[in-house]
């Protein structure tokens, strides 16, 4: 069994070139500039040599979905590449908030008041100022984290007014069996009416659609790196 056999190429540098070209094309189609779209290379469960390949190719924006895995991998890589920008894209437990704030530059998964309060406390204590995105459960899936769409406005207001959190984006993870564009459009609409500038949406299979619908951050794993370790 080999990853290189299940993915068209396991050469992350070549994949990066191809993905950047596709971002460029999608942005152009949408009348946007590719500079408005940040490509987050989601490095969870990827072998170190693939991450090194992207770093050596000059890529600096990476994502992880677990605090512990990120804490094992990234402090050393950040020493070697101080301009790395690290994004937390997975669900965050309140008891990991301090670690997450120490490590990440952007957190995409603020999804409940308990966590928002903890994050506000830890930001004050650590004198760090990570960018914060609110995750919206656009598909209203019970097993998935995220604020329900009808509660989004009130949640964002509370984060901003009561906790003084700087909410700069929204994130969603559409249901796998539904048309992603409906979810991207809903996320964009919630962002617009709340004056939120950034949209974290689109993954390996649908980032071009997400760009058409206004994504400012796309989270791409397997299309860049190849298949993940189990």
Q: Residue 169 forms beta bridges with which residues?
A: 133, 198
Integer Cα distance of 97 and 74 in angstroms: 17
Quick count: other Cβ atoms within 10 Å of Cβ 185?
A: 15
Q: How far is the CB of 45 from ligand PLP (least distance, A)?
A: 8
d(CA 206, CA 180): 7
Taking residue 107's Cβ as centre, other Cβ atoms within 10 Å add up to 26
Question: Which three-class secondary structure state does DSSP give residue 219?
Answer: strand
Q: Which of 16, 26, 41, 42 binds ligand PLP (CB under 6 A)?
A: 42
Q: Please state the closest distance from residue 71 (CB atom) to ligand PLP, in A.
A: 17
Contact set for ligand PLP, span 143-202 (CB under 6 A)? 173
Our finding on whether 221 is near ligand PLP (CB under 6 A) is yes
Between 89 and 215, CB nearer to ligand PLP: 89
Expressed in percent and rounded to 5, the helix, strand and coil fractions of the chain are 50, 15, 35
Nearer to ligand PLP by Cβ, of 165 and 210: the residue is 210
From candidates 50, 88, 219, 226, binder to ligand PLP by CB under 6 A: 219
204 touches ligand PLP by CB under 6 A? yes
CA atoms of 189 and 199, how far apart (whole Å): 10
Closest CB to ligand PLP among 119 and 223?
Answer: 223
What's the maximum distance between 2 C-alpha atoms anywhere in the chain? 53
Task: Copy the structure tokens of residue 81.
Answer: 């590449």
107 binds ligand PLP (CB under 6 A): no
Nearer to ligand PLP, 154 or 205 (CB): 205
Residues 52-71 within binding reach of ligand PLP (CB under 6 A): 65
Among the listed ranges 2-10, 23-31, 153-161, 219-227, the one in contact with ligand PLP (CB under 6 A) is: 219-227
Could you give phi then psi for residue 62, rounded to 5 degrees? -130, 155
Residue from 27, 86, 92, 220 binding ligand PLP (CB under 6 A):
220
How far is it, in rounded angstroms, from Cα 26 to Cα 176? 22
Nearer to ligand PLP, 84 or 121 (CB): 84
Smallest gap, in angstroms, from Cβ of residue 124 to ligand PLP? Answer: 27
Where are the alpha helices (H) located in 30-112, listed in sequence order?
48-56, 67-80, 97-103
Closer of 96 and 163 to ligand PLP (Cβ): 96
Instruction: Give the chain's end-to-end CA distance (angstroms, integer).
Output: 12
Q: Which residues are at the interface with ligand PLP (CB under 6 A)?
A: 42, 44, 65, 89-90, 173, 203-204, 219-223
């Amino acid at each position: 069994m080999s990853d290189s056999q299940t993915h068209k190429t396991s050469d992350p540098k070549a994949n990066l070139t191809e993905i950047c070209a596709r971002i460029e094309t999608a942005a152009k189609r949408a009348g946007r500039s590719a500079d408005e779209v940040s490509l987050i290379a989601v490095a969870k469960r990827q072998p170190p040599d693939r991450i090194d390949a992207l770093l050596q190719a000059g890529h600096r924006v990476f994502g992880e979905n677990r605090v512990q895995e990120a804490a094992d991998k990234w402090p050393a890589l950040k020493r070697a590449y101080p301009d790395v920008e690290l994004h937390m894209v997975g669900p965050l437990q309140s008891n990991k908030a301090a670690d997450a704030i120490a490590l990440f530059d952007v957190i995409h998964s603020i999804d409940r008041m308990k966590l928002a309060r903890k994050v506000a406390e830890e930001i004050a204590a650590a004198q760090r100022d990570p960018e914060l995105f609110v995750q919206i459960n656009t598909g209203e899936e019970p097993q998935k984290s995220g604020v329900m769409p009808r509660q989004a406005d009130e949640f964002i207001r509370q984060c901003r007014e009561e906790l003084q959190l700087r909410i700069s984006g929204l994130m969603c993870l559409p249901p796998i069996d539904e048309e992603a564009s409906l979810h991207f459009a809903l996320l964009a609409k919630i962002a617009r009416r709340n004056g939120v500038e950034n949209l974290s949406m689109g993954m390996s299979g649908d980032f071009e659609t997400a760009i058409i619908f206004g994504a400012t951050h796309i989270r791409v794993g397997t299309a860049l790196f190849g298949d993940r370790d189990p």
